[in-house]
Amino acid sequence: MTDSTKIAFLGMGVMGGPMAGHLARAGHEVTIYNRTVSRAEERSKMLADEGLTVKVAKTPAEAAAGQDVVITCVGNDADLAQVVLGEEGVLAAMKRGALFIDHTTVSAKIAREIAAQADSLGLQAVDAPVSGGQAGAENGALSIMCGGSDEAMAVATPAMDAYAGRIVHVGGVGAGQTTKMVNQICIAGVLAGLSEAVRFSDAAALDMPKVLEAVSGGAAQSWQMENRWNTMAKDEFDFGFAIDWMRKDLAIALGEAEALGVSMPVTALVDQFYKEVQSMGGGRQDTSALMRRLPKGKSKG
C-alpha cells in the first residue's frame, strides 16, 4: 500500500465518522457513504473545515468502485448484508485484487459468507471489529481484533493504523468476530460487578474518588472502572456505546455459545439486566447505565 491509498468508508456513525476522518488526515484519498446522506455530507463539511477533501457517494456501489480498500462500520448482520452482498453491494463493484475490511460487530457466520464471496470475486477480506468506543474512535486509539489471511492483513494494517492503538491478527476468517464476542462477554460481567460496587460504596457513605484511587491500583482494576466509576457515581450515562447495541452484541455471543455448546449463565443474566434498563427508557444510554436497575441503598451518611 502506498502512502496515499484510495479508500471508501461506509457508515458515518459515532465510530465510522471519526475513523474516516483519521484516514483523510493520514493522507488517503477518501470517499464516504451513509444511508442517511446528510450525515455523510455533514462529515465531509467538517473535514473540509480542516482543509481536507472527502468525496460523498450516493450508493454503496458508487463508493466502492475503483477503490483499493473498502471499509464498513454499520449496524448489524442485516445492514452489512444489504451494503456488501448482492448485485448492488460493494463486493460486486470492487476491482479485482482490492481489499474489504469490516469493522461492524456481527456474527462470525456473515463474516465467513462475505469472505467466501470476496474470494470468488478475486478480492481479499478481513473481519475486524473494534473496541474502545466513541472516545477510542475520536482519538485514533481503537483496539482492533482481526480475522483473515496473512496476505490480507499485510494490506489492511497500514490503513487501520490511522485510527488504531492496537491491531491483533487473531486467526482466520471469522476469528475477529468471535474474539469481539469474548470482549463483550468480559465487559458485561465487569459492568455488572462495577454497578453493584458503586451502589454499595454510595450506601456506605464512602468518598467515591478515594475508593477509586484505592481499588483501581489493585486486582479490581479495569478499563471500565478507570473510565466509568466517577460518571456512574454521578448518574451520567451519555458516552457513545448504547445499551441497544450491547444487547445486539450479547445476542450474537449467546447464539454462538449455544452453537458451541458453551454455558454462559452470567452473560445471559446480564443481558436480561440490560433488558430491564431498556424498559426504563435507557436503551440509548451508555452500557454503564446498567446500574440504573439497582435502587440506592440507605446511606449510613
Q: Any idea what the CATH number is for the domain that residue 40 is in?
A: 3.40.50.720
CB 138 within 8 A of CB 165: no
Query: Which tens digits make up the pLDDT trace of 114-125?
Result: 999 999 999 999
Residue 87 pLDDT: 86
In a domain, 266, yes or no: yes
CATH number, position 274? 1.10.1040.10
Residue 239 pLDDT: 83
Residue 112: pLDDT above 60? yes
Task: Provide the residue range defining the domain that includes 188.
Answer: 178-293
Residue 58 pLDDT: 96
Residue 1: pLDDT above 50? no
Residue 300: pLDDT above 80? no
Q: Which of 126, 148, 172 is the last residue of a domain?
A: 172
Q: What angle do CA 220, 222, 225 make, to 5 degrees?
A: 90
The verdict on 164 and 216 lying in the same domain is no
What percentage of the chain exceeds 70 in pLDDT? Answer: 98
Contacts of 300 (CB under 8 A, 6+ apart): 203, 204, 205
How many structural domains does the chain have?
2
Residue ranges of E strands in 139-295: 142-147, 164-171
Residue 2: pLDDT above 70? no
Q: List phi, psi (to 5°) of 144.
A: -120, 125
The verdict on 23 and 78 lying in the same domain is yes
Q: State the Cα–Cα distance between residues 163 and 113, nearest whole angstrom.
A: 26
Average pLDDT, the chain: 96
Mean pLDDT of 224-245: 93
Residue 266 pLDDT: 98
- Residue 296 bears catalytic tag: no
In a domain, 301, yes or no: no
Q: Which residues of 250-267 are buried (b: 16+ CB within 10 A; e: fewer)?
A: bebbbebbeeeeeebeeb
Query: Which tens digits make up the pLDDT trace of 80-108?
Result: 999 999 888 999 999 999 999 999 999 99
The verdict on 35 and 132 lying in the same domain is yes
In a domain, 102, yes or no: yes
Q: State the Cα–Cα distance between residues 68 and 96, nearest whole angstrom.
A: 9
Catalytic residue among 58, 180, 210, 275: 180
The verdict on 119 and 233 lying in the same domain is no
Query: Which tens digits make up the pLDDT trace of 37-52?
Result: 999 999 999 999 999 9
Residue 3 pLDDT: 62
The verdict on 260 and 215 lying in the same domain is yes
In a domain, 250, yes or no: yes
Contacts of 57 (CB under 8 A, 6+ apart): 8, 31, 32, 33, 40, 63
Helix axes 223-233, 175-203, angle to 10 degrees: 40
Residue 40 pLDDT: 98
Please name which of 250, 251, 207 lies closest in space to residue 229, comparing C-alpha atoms. 207
Residue 283: pLDDT above 90? yes
Query: Which tens digits make up the pLDDT trace of 141-174?
Result: 999 999 999 999 999 999 999 999 999 999 999 9
Residue 86 pLDDT: 85
Q: State the Cα–Cα distance between residues 117 and 114, nearest whole angstrom.
A: 5
Residue 5: pLDDT above 60? yes
